[in-house]
Amino acid sequence: MLIVLGDVSARGSDLTHDKWLSVIQQLQRMLGPFLGLPLHIVLGDRDIGECSKINAKFVNRIASNFPGLDSAGCGSFEVSNISFVSLNAVALLCGDNDLRFGVEKIIEKESVDLQTHTNAATEIANETTNSETNFSNFVWRENTMLSGSGPVLLLHFPLHSTLNSNCAAVNALNQSPSPCHHKSLKTFGNRRLAGAGPYDLLHTVPPNETEYIFQALKPRYFCVGT
């Protein structure tokens, strides 16, 4: 599977619909023999543009060209029983905007799905335990999901306090990220040469939104594009 964590175009927010189609065709040619593989794309800041220019209809039009993305530029899928959730981090970074409700909607949906799956697994385990022990009908039940039991998060911008890694695992005890692998200086250098885009490299998803994501999704890993 191929995953692109944004950006697709250096000046995507300024492109017309026809020019966007041209960019997509260029991407397909670049993928070449890998075009037949499943593809998931996370929209980036250059694709969407500055906070003051975010337009829900424009994002919907772009997202409709990429498999698995909803109208807010979010999506979810599974690979080998591991869930992946991609969020429009630009919408979260920009505060109140037309896309924010759509992003929060998928977070809540994935949270409910995860809780339902966790409860079902707990009930099966409890039934097995009850069938093997006759001394008590009382069973302890977890009311909350464990940290790190949720999906892998795919984001363009890093979560708060996770800037130093572009793929991190969540510590189940304190929800602090530990890096899987770090960005090279060459990566940052290439981005500067290409232009920094409408947002500073130090931008992250705000603390409140980061805490909301941790509480709702209990992510096991998160990978970012910037």
Asked if residue 137 belongs to a domain, the reply is no
- H or E element, residue 69: none
pLDDT of residue 185: 31
Q: What pLDDT is recorded for position 167? A: 67
Q: Is residue 167 part of a domain?
A: yes
AA identity, residue 148: G
Q: Is 177 part of a structural domain of the chain?
A: yes
Q: How do the pLDDT tens digits run along the chain, 226 residues long?
A: 999 998 999 889 999 989 999 999 999 999 998 988 999 999 999 998 888 888 899 999 999 999 899 999 999 999 988 899 999 999 998 888 889 999 999 999 999 988 887 665 555 555 555 555 444 444 434 435 565 678 999 999 988 875 455 666 655 334 444 444 333 333 333 444 344 555 554 578 889 999 999 999 999 888 988 6
How high is the pLDDT of residue 197? 53
In a domain, 148, yes or no: yes
By C-alpha distance, which of 88, 94, 98, 109 is closest to 42?
A: 88
Per-residue tokens: 121: 């697994």
What is the model's pLDDT at position 139? Answer: 44
Domain count, the chain: 1
Strand 2-4 versus strand 82-86 pairing type: unpaired
Q: What pLDDT was estimated at residue 50?
A: 83
Domain of residue 174: give its range: 2-131+143-224
Q: Which residues contact 120 (CB under 8 A, 6 or more apart)?
A: none
Q: Is residue 138 part of a domain?
A: no
DSSP track, 89-156: HHHHHT-S-TTHHHHHHHHHHHHHHHHHHHHHHHHHHHHHHHHH--S-------SSPPTT-SPEEEES
Residue 62 in domain: yes
